[in-house]
Amino acid sequence: MLKVSDPAPGFCLPDQNGSEVSLGDFAGRRLVLYFYPRDNTPGCSREAAAFAAAAEEIASLGAAVVGVSRDSVASHQRFAQKYSLPFPILSDPELSAIRPYGVWQEKKLAGRVSMGVVRTTFIIDPDGRVEQVFQKVKPDTAAQQVLQYLKGEG
């Protein structure tokens, strides 16, 4: 897992509209980059809706929001429409960003062990370095945690 002050790994992935989005697109401003396990699951849906509700305030604090999961562009398109997401969600089925950010980890659920995306949020600074890492975040509080941090309250 990346640590504060590490250089943020570059990426170039398609969003829900099929447009390529890269880390360089956000140079000069903060980026809230959140990784989540799967579209249309209860926790991920609540987390996305919370980030959508907070997106305008996050933007007013000089940051952009981007979500990333392994789901397909088509799945992301349906998910973004369903929740009126005003920010890009990136499709990473090959784990080209998920692995370098260290969020592909062993997970245990109901006694079963499998590999998957661990819900994690990174704040990337304007110079492309990891400014903050929120690990194993809760879907219902992730956006508020980010807002508090961006406001200097956390």
Q: Looking at residues 8-33, what average pLDDT do you find? A: 98
> At 43, is the pLDDT very low, low, confident or very high (cuts 50, 70, 90)?
very high
Tell me, what's the pLDDT at 110?
A: 86
Q: Rounded to an integer, what distance in angstroms lies between the CA atom of residue 56 and that of residue 16?
A: 19
What is the rounded end-to-end Cα distance, in angstroms, of the chain?
Answer: 21
Instruction: Give catalytic residues, as residue numbers.
Output: 44
Does a structural domain hold residue 137? yes
> At 1, is the pLDDT very low, low, confident or very high (cuts 50, 70, 90)?
confident
Does a structural domain hold residue 91? yes
Tell me, what's the pLDDT at 109?
A: 82
State the pTM of this model: 0.96
Predicted confidence (pLDDT) per residue in 117-150, tens digit: 999 999 999 999 999 999 989 999 999 999 999 9
Does a structural domain hold residue 2? no
Does a structural domain hold residue 63? yes
Residue 36 belongs to domain with CATH number:
3.40.30.10
Does a structural domain hold residue 56? yes
Mapped to the 3 state alphabet, what secondary structure does 100-143 carry? CCCCEEEEEECCEEEEEECCEEEEECCCCEEEEEEECCCCCCHH
Residue 10 has which token pair?
Answer: 């570059």
> At 154, is the pLDDT very low, low, confident or very high (cuts 50, 70, 90)?
low
Does a structural domain hold residue 5? no
Does a structural domain hold residue 6? no
Q: Looking at residues 35-48, what average pLDDT do you find? A: 96
Q: Rounded to an integer, what distance in angstroms lies between the CA atom of residue 40 and that of residue 44?
A: 7
Q: Which residue, chain included where needed, has tokens 């940051």?
A: 63
Listed in sequence order, the residues at least 6 apart from 136 whose beta carbon sits closer than 8 Å to its beta carbon are 118, 119, 120
Does a structural domain hold residue 7? no
Q: Assess whether pLDDT exceeds 80 at residue 41.
A: yes
Ordered DSSP codes for 46-83 = HHHHHHHHHHHHHHHTTEEEEEEES--HHHHHHHHHHT
- Domain range holding 18? 12-150
Number of domains in the chain: 1
Predicted confidence (pLDDT) per residue in 69-117, tens digit: 999 999 999 999 999 999 999 999 999 999 999 999 999 888 899 999 9
Q: Looking at residues 30-47, what average pLDDT do you find? A: 97
Tell me, what's the pLDDT at 127?
A: 96
